[in-house]
Amino acid sequence: MEDRGHKTEDRRPRAGDRGPRTEDSGLSSKIRPPSSVLCPPRSVLRPTGFTLIELMLVLVILATLSAIVSKRAKIIRAQTEIASFGTALEQFEIAMGRYPTSMEALRVLIERPADDNGEWQGPYLNKNVIPLDPWNSEYQYRSPGQYNAEAYDLYSFGPDGRLGGDDDITNWSDEARY
């Protein structure tokens, strides 16, 4: 309603009205919105996705699993290469009537030996060089063998790079050591 250019407040009661509204009634300081309006739950404030700590934890777990798998893969590779050398050494022995000497070692699997009488039928490996073991050390060859006296010993020092211990990868069984 308007009275001579002045606005007047409509004072008709409304449903749920608690009385006249005035600035000094103190109602505004007593009526507060629920806390969920002022402080929404964490799920509303938190963006979806991973936190930095969660990502770091996942990376640490993946790195650990990778290291375990990598170590096992290197051991399997060394075992496979020793078996491959073993097959090549058997072929050499059939052709030459003997195993390579310790001095000749694995080299004669890819290069003709000095004492060849035309019997060498190599190369016995599909490589131009004898590969290193997975830990970048040479495979060790000894003939006659200490553990395989009728043939040869062929082994890798394994991850620790030293002879002895449980990590050596060999062409003989553990029972032959004792």
Query: What is the residue extent of each domain of the chain?
Result: 52-177
Write the CATH number of the domain with boundaries 52-177: 3.30.700.10
Q: Which of 78, 67, 69 is nearest to 132 (CA)?
A: 78
In the chain, which stretches have pLDDT less than 70? 1-48, 174-178
For residue 146, the 8-state DSSP code is: S
Query: What pTM was estimated for this model as a whole?
Result: 0.62
Exposure string of 57-89, with b = 16+ CB inside 10 Å and e = fewer, is eeeeeeeeeeeeeeeeebbeebeebbebbeebb
Q: Per residue in 116-145, pLDDT tens?
A: 888 898 899 988 899 999 999 999 999 999
What does the pLDDT read at residue 178?
Answer: 37
d(CA 62, CA 152): 41
Specify the pLDDT at position 5.
57
Rounded CA Rg of the chain = 42
